[in-house]
Amino acid sequence: MATTATEGERHVHVLAVPLPAQGHLNPLMRFCKLLLKHHQNRGSLRVTFLDFYAANDSADHSFSFEFHDDRLLQRVRFPFPSLSQPLTSLGTFFDSLVCIESGLEHLIQFFNRHGVPVTCLLTDVLTTFPTQDVADKLGISRIAVFTSSAARLLLINYVAQKDILSMETVMDAINSKERRDELFCDSVPGLPRLLNKDLPHYNYIIDDTRTVWEFVNRSWKACNSRAHAVVINTFEELEPSACSLLSQDCDVPLYDVGFWIEILSGDTSTSMREEDERCIGWLDQQPTSSVLYISFGSTTILSKPQFEALLHGVINSQQRFLWVLRPGLVDDIDHCSASKEIISRSENRGFVVDWAPQLRVLSHSSVGGFLSHCGWNSTVESIANGVPILCWPYFADQHLNARCIVDVWRVGFDFKHSVKGDYLIESHEIETVIRSLIEGKEGGILRKNAYELKQKSSRCFDSSGSSLLKLTALINDM
């Protein structure tokens, strides 16, 4: 049951509605914790975080509550029949929106009747339909959360809003398989130099990139005219021109108040898988900056040839490694025997887990590099910990993130000689680049750059840091 506000007290009750996918759950919960931490009058802010759980019955709209953090943060368990399916199918994704739509209004009305009325919805840009509709209908303000970079949002804005890049040009570049390595743009304000293959696409998971782009564009247009504000998990000093162009071009206030870094454990964990803590004990025994952490996030799938090339490259590099071999990561392979094979070939240099406590791993002094698919959360978590990145992007914003990591912030390497067509990389190249990252001179330079960027990111929350100032403005605006 929700708590009741003291009579006369002006309260803010934020209802946070995540998209039920790991890369969207983590940043939303971290942002909620950030709000609670920096709110001047903690007692007057309540945050309710909606937790989806897999339900068998699609007609089940019951929900239950759990309180945490002095009752200021509460979690509502909300049934979601398709949760066992990954959100990487368009059908499941749209199912999740229908599920939110059918329960959200009901839940808000429950709060209004029995507890502290909801005053603000905090929801992902991708759930604009239906959450903005519900907010408008009930007269509640909605803050839209964008969980990727400012460059990604700027690119969306250029296509959806400003018509600076046409959808046809973008689709032509994405679909031109034989022109993947050709230049797409090198002087669009706020964006890095991009090749055709760097444009966000979904070809590896859904064969309908255009539908996704159109959906994202529509959602963004609605946010930009109807949301109360938009928050992004980035900071001004990281993406100065993208942030400033967005602020000028957006019709609603835009708050670049990142990074949202908070280790989510116990009460506030949003991990959809069990984290294997044993890897921290293993890291404790390794020398400083000696370990390559390998993880491809929660949705990327490797083909068997990609996995084999990676395995050879990692083993032949002779470096220490911690590898997240998520069940289902590799297509068409027996998970258990793949883990055993990695360990048996590692000569005690490697450790394999199904799922790691990633933030704790990246903040560990033994970790010297991160071989990553460059999802935005992994990128942010690596930068915030000063860990250089070896980029192996697959889909969505990952190529764009990799361009910034390599060319703009200079905190990572990418693979130059990919075999065209199938995102295959020669194992020999993998081996050489890993060595260079962990023990080479160039790797040392990246580590130094990464350390400087880490310092910048932590200064954002100093007393006059850019993120803290904007967060304070946002809280006042709420």
Q: Which residues bind ligand UDX (CB under 6 A)?
A: 22-23, 26, 147-148, 271, 295, 297-300, 324, 355-356, 358-359, 375-378, 381, 396-398
Nearer to ligand UDX, 45 or 199 (CB): 199
Q: How far is CA 148 from CA 314, 316, 332, 387, 430, in A?
A: 29, 34, 30, 19, 27
* Cα–Cα dist 433/430, whole Å: 5
Nearer to ligand UDX, 138 or 195 (CB): 195
Nearer to ligand UDX, 33 or 46 (CB): 33
Q: How far is the CB of 299 from ligand UDX (least distance, A)?
A: 4
Q: How far is the CB of 365 from ligand UDX (least distance, A)?
A: 18
Q: Which two tokens stand for residue 70?
A: 């002095």
Nearer to ligand UDX, 2 or 402 (CB): 402
| 3-class secondary-structure state, position 144 | strand
Nearer to ligand UDX, 118 or 292 (CB): 292
Nearer to ligand UDX, 37 or 273 (CB): 273
| 3-class secondary-structure state, position 253 | coil
Q: How far is the CB of 408 from ligand UDX (least distance, A)?
A: 17
- Which letter does DSSP use for residue 127 in this model? G
Q: How far is the CB of 174 from ligand UDX (least distance, A)?
A: 16
Q: How far is the CB of 149 from ligand UDX (least distance, A)?
A: 8
Nearer to ligand UDX, 95 or 381 (CB): 381
Which residue is it, tokens 């996918």?
Answer: 21
Which residue is it, tokens 């002094």?
Answer: 365
Q: How far is the CB of 184 from ligand UDX (least distance, A)?
A: 19
* Cα–Cα dist 125/147, whole Å: 8
| 3-class secondary-structure state, position 221 | helix
- Which letter does DSSP use for residue 311 in this model? H
Q: How far is the CB of 464 from ligand UDX (least distance, A)?
A: 28
* Cα–Cα dist 376/356, whole Å: 17
Nearer to ligand UDX, 116 or 291 (CB): 291
Q: How far is the CB of 280 from ligand UDX (least distance, A)?
A: 12
- Cβ-in-10-Å burial (0-12, 13-18, 19+) of 62 comes to exposed
Q: Which two tokens stand for residue 439?
A: 């023990």
Q: Note if the bond before 130 is cis, omega within 30 degrees.
A: yes
The contacts of residue 463 (CB under 8 Å, 6+ apart) are none
Q: Which two tokens stand for residue 305?
A: 């040839």
Strand partners of residue 64:
77
